[in-house]
Amino acid sequence: MNKIFIGIKNNIKKWLLGWFLGYTVLWTIIEPILAFTTLNITGLYKFLGFILLALIIATYRVYPKKEISFLLKNTGTKITIVFDDLFKLPGCKAIPVNEFFDSKIGKLVSLKSLHGIFLQTILGGHSLIFDSFVDAQCKDIPHEMIERPEGKKKQYPIGTTVVITHNSIKYLLFVAAKTDLSDKAFSNPAIMLEALAGFWTKSRCEHNGEKIVIPLVGGGLSGVGLPARSLIELILISILKATKEQELSTSITICLLPDLIKQVDLSEIQKNWR
């Protein structure tokens, strides 16, 4: 029932128009049919029946979709956008991290972030495993040494990506945010697009035909400062740009937190991008 109210609230004009058109079409079609039958439905009952059916049609049109899929224009890439838990979906999973690949849960890595959930739930809190993968794969990547009160000192470029395979599932951890002097992660549209460009470059070599699952980059604790709809558009633009340079996976899923269903109308995105 809550989803019905969300759909109506977010699309009140579409709902009212759907109700009006539904009532008009029903009257136009059913009224002549009734005239040739023996059914004696007249007056208030007929009027209320039309009203109820029109309301059902209008509500169906604005009911929030949980998932949409479409082929990205002029590419061979199928895009799926879904409200779900990223870790439950099949495919190679993208995990945004900060530029130091920090591994200490708490101030440096929030347990509420995907990075924190990955360290705590997937790796069982064994940060040394994470650190060993980062050190091995980033040893030849240019970096700067930054003195910090706590946390790692090596600062890597935006878009740097480390691949960790656990239980036959690949996790691609990519630098998607910078860190200020108080160790708070931050980002903006330019950083976000640069990070995604680096991620897509690495993912081409790693997905092995598998689906790529990416979260709403920029919508977490390092917030870009844009609404969820705009962040989705930026991700789609980055995918389109990357596919023009070189083919990506044939299937990419953008995973949204279920709470965002109040803010994002998937039908509108599908209409604009398919």
Separation between Cα atoms, residue 164 and residue 129, nearest integer Å: 9
Q: What number of residues does the chain have?
A: 274
| pLDDT digits 0-9 by tens, 189-242 | 999 999 999 999 999 988 888 899 999 998 876 678 899 999 999 999 999 999
The pLDDT value given to residue 153: 93
- Sign, CA dihedral 244-249-250-255, equals negative
| pLDDT digits 0-9 by tens, 49-93 | 667 776 777 666 666 788 999 999 888 899 999 999 999 999 999
| Beta-bridge mates of residue 70 | 79
Separation between Cα atoms, residue 128 and residue 140, nearest integer Å: 20
| pLDDT digits 0-9 by tens, 260-269 | 988 888 988 9
| Beta-bridge mates of residue 105 | 109
For residue 262, give both structure tokens.
């109040």
Are 193 and 233 in contact by the 8 Å Cβ rule? The answer is no
Q: How far is CA 197 from CA 194, 203, 219, in A?
A: 5, 10, 17
